[in-house]
Structure 1
Amino acid sequence: GIPVNAFAPTDFGVPDYYELVMTTSDDTLGKKQQAIEAFMRAAAKGQQYVKDNKEKALDLLLSKQANEFPLEKDVETKSLDILIPLMDAGDKPFGSQTTESWQTLIDWMKKEKLISQDVKADEIMIDLAK
Structure 2
Amino acid sequence: MANNIVPTYNGDSKDLAYFLRQSEKYIDLLKTDNNNLFNSLLLEQVKSKFSGPARDIIINRSFDNWPDLKIALVTRFGDPRSEEILAYDLNTSIQSHPQSFSEFHDEISQKLQVLKEHLAINSDSQEVRVFK
Tell me which of the two structures has the higher relative contact order, counting C-alpha pairs closer than 8 angstroms and 6 or more residues apart: 1
TM-score of the alignment, normalized to the shorter chain, above 0.5: no
The TM-score with structure 1 as length reference comes to 0.29
The TM-score with structure 2 as length reference comes to 0.28
